[in-house]
Chains A and B, each alone.
Chain A
Amino acid sequence: MLFLAPVMAVLGAVAVFPIAYSLYISFFSIKLTRPNRTPFVGLKNYTDLLGDEAFWGAVWRTVSFSLVSVTAIAFIALLVSLLLNQEFRGRRILSTILLVPWAIPYVANALMWKWIYDSSYGALNGLLYQLDFIDKYMVWLGDQDKTLFLIANAFVWKEVPLATILLLVSLKSIPSDLYAAARVDGATVWQRFVHVTLPAMKPGFMLVMIYETMMAIRHFDLFFILTEGGPGSASHVLSWHIYVETFRNLSFGSGAAMSYLLAIATFALSYLFIRTLGRKI
């Protein structure tokens, strides 16, 4: 088809080819520190990863970051979408405000939270100090136990709007007869919520969970600006690990191998994603 040709050409050149090429170079040992020798090493880049503690640590941190953020996003978005599904004055304004975090560039979001968490002059310290929750300023991002949660918080703040809008669609699709019928049957508010609202939101929920998981496991910008993987290796997640391995250690072969594994994980998720969308085409 002539009409399809441009899209196929673009996607073929810029999406399919890199993925194939990535697989190809993941079988070689390519180090820019030694540009003239790129020996074929077969599956060595992959088998090396199996015993690589730094890699598994990064995988584990990515998993915990994603679990924490996606749970928080889904929960907050549920509350917000229930609220915005009500009729009240100011609802329009509120739903417009909701778009603000969505529109902000991730880099500006990161800059903003870095400033909020700042150890000397940040708003978080200032607020907690004024409210007497802390008696001296804290180095928030320097605390290994808290870093991942603080980054997750910045991520959640930015992602809640989209999740809310997706959930609102499934809320709006619930026919009001269902509620009327439940009321006639004597269901309480809570029973109506559990037996009518929640089941109807299930597809919306699945969509949000899968999409946000995909976003969380690949996320990079916040880690780059807020912590650079630190302190220690507290926020050394997989995407950061790939970046360091590739562009700081200049080891393109193993970087490619890792990004290939990440792509496969995402493909698996996207399969679920497309299935959930239940495309009729």
Chain B
Amino acid sequence: MPITPPVDTIDYRRRQKIGRIVQRLVIVVSAIVLAAYILAPVSWLVSSAFQTETEIVSIPPHWIPEEPTLRNFEAIFSAGNDEPVTYETRSGADPAAGDFIPSTAENLLPSMANSLIVSILVVILNLLVGVPAAYAIAKIRFWGRNASVYFILITRVIPDIALVVPFFLVIRKLGMLDTLGSLVITYLAITVPFTVFILIQYFEGLPDELDKAARVDGCSRLQALIKVFLPLSLPSLVAVVLFTFLTSWNEFLLALMFTQTSASQTLPILLASFTSDFTVSFSFLNAAGVLAVVPPVIVAIVFERYIVSGLTAGAVKG
């Protein structure tokens, strides 16, 4: 007797097919919605940065610049030259139209340099301080090991705002207000726990035999760390460098308290000062915003793999 599939099997197959189509549709639609949710605000910022001040105040707004211009960026990069470039001098615009570039615009590039210096110093100090500690906790049995881990983790969660008051008083007493040094030290404190945390997870994954073999071959602890462990832990080191860099580049609250002049102001501080100035032109402000956004976003996109592995290092059990 030939076997014919019962009717409800055919029906079941068709239903499954429809189910798959619906599933695809749902995925495509939600993917588009998600992309729009993430990209729309950023595109608006970028689009505004390439508009002239006359265009930017049109109602309703121009979503895509009709006459794209680079003059906002020019203004930033040429600010501080002998002849100040303002919209008034260049295009004869009406100063009353809000076409105004703040006098502090010339501090923008120096503040980027400040941000860069602080971030790099913090990255280097983090590695110097964090790597040995993580190695010790992961590979050496000693009394108080658990306590050290908890201690380091707990310092990570102290809110900055709680540190600010005592820290301000101490820094003022030391005469370190308005120096890059005050930022380097405080940023070190807020980034080191995370560094140690990521590295512990990674070192623990490396076999203990490596450590023993290196020691039998006559390496000191330090040599074992430098010659055996560091080359093997490159991915986690990259993650640490990225996190530390981005945290320092983006930090605002502490910098707000400790910096006063262009000698130590970082990029976020200068940006914030523009936003509270009602005379600053919108197009200029957005261009400055774009400049602050571009470096970290490029770093994040290029090193995506390392960042995701770093972010999840704390979430998976060690």
Contact = CB atoms under 8 A, between A and B. Distances in A.
A130 B61 CA distance: 9
Nearest to A9: B129
B127 to A, nearest CB: 11
A7 B296 contact: no
A129 B61 CA distance: 10
A266 B296 contact: no
Given A1-B142, A115-B286, A221-B252, A267 B149 contact: no
Interface stretch (B1-9, B89-97, B182-190): B182-190
Contact of A11 (B35, B38, B128, B189): B189
Nearest to A220: B253
Contacts, number: 285
Q: Which of B165, B189, B253 has the most CB of A within 10 A?
A: B165
Interface stretch (A48-56, A142-150, A174-182, A252-260): A252-260
A16 interface: yes
Interface string A1-29: 11110111011011111110110010000
Range class of the B interface residue count: 35 or more
B162 to A, nearest CB: 4
A274 B315 CA distance: 11
A21 B31 contact: no
B132 A3 contact: yes
Given A6-B129, A88-B28, 20 more contacts: A11-B193, A15-B163, A17-B166, A18-B163, A90-B31, A96-B301, A99-B308, A103-B296, A106-B268, A107-B272, A108-B289, A111-B45, A111-B274, A122-B61, A162-B311, A246-B168, A252-B169, A263-B159, A270-B153, A281-B318
8 contacts: A3-B133, A79-B30, A104-B297, A107-B250, A112-B289, A218-B161, A266-B157, A267-B154
4 nearest A-B pairs in the assembled complex, by CB-CB distance = A14-B189, A103-B300, A3-B136, A270-B157
Interface of A: 1-4, 6-8, 10-11, 13-19, 21-22, 25, 79-80, 83, 86, 88, 90-91, 94-108, 110-116, 118, 120-123, 126, 129-130, 137, 157, 162, 165-166, 168-170, 173, 204, 207, 214, 217-218, 220-221, 224-225, 239, 242-243, 246-247, 252, 255-256, 259-260, 262-263, 266-267, 269-270, 273-274, 277-281
